[in-house]
Amino acid sequence: MIVPKYHIKKNDLVMVINGKEKGKSGRVLKVLPEKEKVLIEKINFVKRHSRPHGKQRQGGILEKEAPLHLSNVMLLCEKCNKPIRIGHRILEDGKKARFCRKCGELLDK
């Protein structure tokens, strides 16, 4: 299976643009490219019921983040603080970097 590359990376600031969490923003904890999903800090909480396992783990209802589809999130520019589309530039040292199409700020430093 060929796993495509996406414009969102770990530790990027993103905003949810669709669904029940619309308008909320947070940092990306994990990108799941094979499922085309992203896990965002403090967004899309679900409840999971777990049984106790010995003395170490207590049972009960746990709340944790569930992944969102990549099409439902947009990258936030930290300079202009708006959801943006990104562009790619090749820097002087030959590296490829992402930039904000609204303000021109480099996202990869």
Report the CATH number that the domain containing residue 24 is assigned in CATH: 2.30.30.30
Task: State the total domains in the chain.
Answer: 1
**Residues of the chain above pLDDT 70, percent:** 96
Q: Can you give the pLDDT at residue 39?
A: 97
Q: How many CB atoms lie within 10 A of CB 14?
A: 23
Average pLDDT over residues 83-97: 93
What confidence category does residue 100 fall into, taking pLDDT thresholds of 50, 70 and 90?
Answer: very high
What confidence category does residue 3 fall into, taking pLDDT thresholds of 50, 70 and 90?
Answer: low
Q: How far from 31 is each of 13, 47, 53, 68, 102, CA to CA, in Å?
A: 13, 21, 29, 10, 25
Q: Quick check: is 109 in a domain?
A: no
What confidence category does residue 108 fall into, taking pLDDT thresholds of 50, 70 and 90?
Answer: confident
Q: Can you give the pLDDT at residue 2?
A: 67
Could you tell me the residue range of the domain that residue 57 belongs to? 13-100
Q: Quick check: is 49 in a domain?
A: yes
Q: Quick check: is 6 in a domain?
A: no
Q: Quick check: is 96 in a domain?
A: yes
Q: How many CB atoms lie within 10 A of CB 74?
A: 20
- Report which of 101, 96, 98 is spatially closest to residue 83, judged by C-alpha positions: 101
